[in-house]
Amino acid sequence: MLRPLRRIARRVMERTGLIGPYYRWLERRSARAVGEAVDDGRPMPPAELVVLVSGPSLRWFSERGRDDAAMFRALAARHGADVAAGLDVLDFGCGAGRIARWLAPEVIAAGGTFTGSDLNPRLAGWCAANLPGTYRANGLKPPLGNAANSLDMIYAHSVLTHLTEPTAQAWLAEIARVLRPGGLALMTFHDEAYAQAWAPEDVAARLAGEGYVVWNNALEGSNYISAWTTRARLADMAAPGFEVAEIIPGRNDAPAQAIAVLRARPEV
């Protein structure tokens, strides 16, 4: 009974433009519940920024950020890119620096460069003021501020998950443009395995037939909208600019998104 009512209320808010203010209200409410302060030796963003990129837990933000940084570091190494060897790295959709807090110091200490870019200027601004590296805001659609063929590695954690298919396709092309030939893109996404356990409503069932499903198609780029992609569709979308080196399925026993490891094709 409640579910259809909620769905109608959501549609009304989307159509009237009230969904944005409602969503901001939810974020402010979450920010009041982030739990005790955490000192992990790195600058910690304020609660109102933490809740824009993760659940309402400073501990989760700290620990999962460190774990996700380790995961990207290990995955890149497995594909021949050592972040401690002076690489030029971009965190696309860097949010409040959850992962950059751990990786940027390491990349820069090794003689590389570290850039972060995010749709939300408040998030990019906090990173610029508090973390090593260069951080900028970008638009919902390309371009990035980086030059063509200027980067060795780009990672994006839970960014494709908030984009419609045409926008995601445009970003894959842009990421291929700024990577050097052979450079790596490591991008997480919601695949069919992850959808089995974590997708809302009928998304998992629709995904098999549709390949790309957008849920709550409003406020693109925010956490409100979520996008779901089969691994095969993601590989097709990446094909013009990349060879698919590996796609690690998401998990249905723990909330771990799928990860695509893409290698930029040489220019033709």
The footprint of ligand SAM (CB under 6 A) covers 53-54, 93-95, 98-99, 117-120, 123, 138, 140, 157-159, 162-163, 221, 223
Which of residues 60 and 86 has its CB atom nearest to ligand SAM in the complex?
60
Which of residues 122 and 181 has its CB atom nearest to ligand SAM in the complex?
122
Residue 123 CB, shortest distance to ligand SAM, in Å, is: 5
Three-state SS for the chain is: CHHHHHHHHHHHHHHHCCHHHHHHHHHHHHHCCCCCCCCCCCCCCCHHHHCCCCCCCHHHHHHHHHHHHHHHHHHHHHCCCCHHHCCEEEEECCCCCCCHHHHHHHHHHCCCEEEEEECCHHHHHHHHHHCCCEEEECCCCCCCCCCCCCEEEEEECCCHHHCCHHHHHHHHHHHHHHEEEEEEEEEEECCHHHHHHHCCCCHHHHHHHHCEEEECCCCCCCCCCEEEECHHHHHHHHCCCEEEEEEECCCCCCCCCEEEEEEECCCC
Residue 181 CB, shortest distance to ligand SAM, in Å, is: 23
Residue 65 CB, shortest distance to ligand SAM, in Å, is: 7
Which of residues 113 and 138 has its CB atom nearest to ligand SAM in the complex?
138
Which of residues 99 and 199 has its CB atom nearest to ligand SAM in the complex?
99
Residue 223 CB, shortest distance to ligand SAM, in Å, is: 6
Residue 127 CB, shortest distance to ligand SAM, in Å, is: 10
Which of residues 215 and 243 has its CB atom nearest to ligand SAM in the complex?
215
